[in-house]
Amino acid sequence: MGRMDRKKEKTLRSEIVDTLVTFGSTFLVVWLIVTYLFTPVRVLGQSMYPGLKDGDFGFTNTIARNTAGVQRGDIVIIYLDDQNTYLIKRLIGLPGDTVEMEDCVLYVNGEAVAEDYLDPEYTAQFGDAFFGDIEEVQLGENEYYVLGDNRINSRDSRYYGPFSGEQIRAKSVFIVFPPADFGLKK
């Protein structure tokens, strides 16, 4: 093998190694961002309509969930391990809270809660059936109660029961597509 052949072989090996290192580094950076900062999410279904629509695509804020925690009224992303799927819902009750809905009024710890995030024109279309009563639920130490903004079409804590803090993976959604829905939903 001549000197030129060895030089070509060395250059080819070097290029392959460089390509693999670049690919690996890029993959690692993307994985870290998606896992610990902003996770892509696609809205499936109508449970958060009209604020979030079926097919909306955006990113959730994983780092804010881990650093600032969650507050009542936040939109949260819940992971269901047994179904390998995500839910997007509104956080209603925190650990230790008592939650109940009576006569179309949400009560947390015995006090009426104004649900300003609900669209009154939309809810009025369904009358009292939109809200339905929720029997009093006392949340435990690491339990959270969530509801969909479209109560008439949502499987939430009324169906699944309370969720654990570990199941809440992120909060808020920044919609990027479709452009008409562009913006932060929280």
If phi over 0 gives left and psi between -120 and 50 gives alpha, with beta otherwise, what is residue 109? left
Q: Is 47 a catalytic site residue?
A: yes
Please give the single-letter amino acid code of residue 14. S
Going from the C-alpha of 28 to that of each of 17, 66, 142, the distances in angstroms are 16, 20, 32
Of 7, 8, 53, 89, the catalytic one is 89
Establish whether 172 is a catalytic residue. Answer: no
Report how far apart the first and last C-alpha atoms of the chain are (Å, whole number): 66
Task: Tell me which amino acid residue 91 is.
Answer: L
Q: 7, 10, 14, 47: which one is catalytic?
A: 47
Q: Kindly list the catalytic residues.
A: 47, 89
